[in-house]
Amino acid sequence: MVGGSGHTGGEACRLLLNHPGVARIVPTSRSAEPFERLHPNLLGSGLDFVPVEDVVAAAAEFDAVLLCTPSGEAMRLAPALLDAGTRVVDLSADFRFADPERYRAAHGREHTAPELLGEAVYGATEFHRDRIREARLIANPGCYAITALIGLAPLVRAGLASPGIPLHIAAVNGTTGAGTTPRTDVLHAEVIGSLLPYSLRGHRHAPELEDQFARLAGAPVTVDLSTAHGDFARGIHIQASVLVRPELRDGLTRESLLARYLDFYGEGDRGEYFVRVNHQPSLGGPTDKDYGRFPHLAAVAGSNFVHIGLDYDARLGIARVVAVSDNLVKGAAGSAVQNLNLALGLPEAEGLRSYGL
């Protein structure tokens, strides 16, 4: 594993240490700090950091390498790793776009390995499972992107969204999403009891979502994504408003939307295991504070699940979607392990069946 010192690298190690199919974990770091000092929750794991160069040199010995690196590093390392015959799961943004110009526009730098972009498989497991099984290079989705994609896919695939109208998505993530580089703005004392909006001129996950939604819709889709850090460590909370096409509003209700979602994803072991739709019955009137019909962020902490809740505003013709996930698990390391399981021929949910805390 390249990049084992950050939140995502530490979470990947935590999951892999509990994975029955993993025999050896080799994390790297450029930090001089010992592994267990940076990740005290893994005290006693026996893991030690090695130089990045050691993993690259021994790449042929590994079944797979996870790249938990900042954008720009994976494109530098991936060619040599792939040439050595190992599979690569990239948790950065380097291989999420098939078009190098789309990458440059979203991330402000030129892509240095454009020859690999056409080969990379976007690692939204629930949508690209068959391709991931055969992939050498898997591009893990962004945390906002995978949560919003799972949350809105049934509406987009069914053509319910009004064409030409942006999908409005308001999203909040935990402060772990800001990384480990010290910044006063995201210190606990600064964030607690507050919200910290950012990237309101255009978040880099919006073009990523537009690419994926366009595949589902068979037509261009525009995404209006606004983001903020909340006063919690881990999690993604998304609320989306989708203006339903006028000709499709007749008879639309929360119950009919729930039926559509349950048909799309199934339930538990009979469907997408990591996608759970909250279909608790509505209690009281439409304006009552019925909290139980929507997912709670705390319920997915530490898990690889996405929980989805729905409602319908008949006056405005707007479908409301709430989706929550753990940004470090389903939004990063958990999705990577889920994809790794597929690529290595292991049961998809192996090592990931833990429910929320």
Is there a contact between 312 and 319 (Cβ–Cβ < 8 Å)? yes
CB atoms within 10 A of CB 282: 14
Return all residues near 120 (Cβ < 8 A) that are at least 6 apart.
Answer: 90, 95, 96, 98, 135, 137, 138, 139
> Which of 202, 241, 220, 102 lies closest to 164, judged by CA?
220
> How much is the CA Rg of the chain, to the nearest whole Å?
20
Q: Which residues are catalytic?
A: 143
Is there a contact between 29 and 54 (Cβ–Cβ < 8 Å)? no
Q: Interior CA angle at 115 toward 110 and 119, to 5°?
A: 120
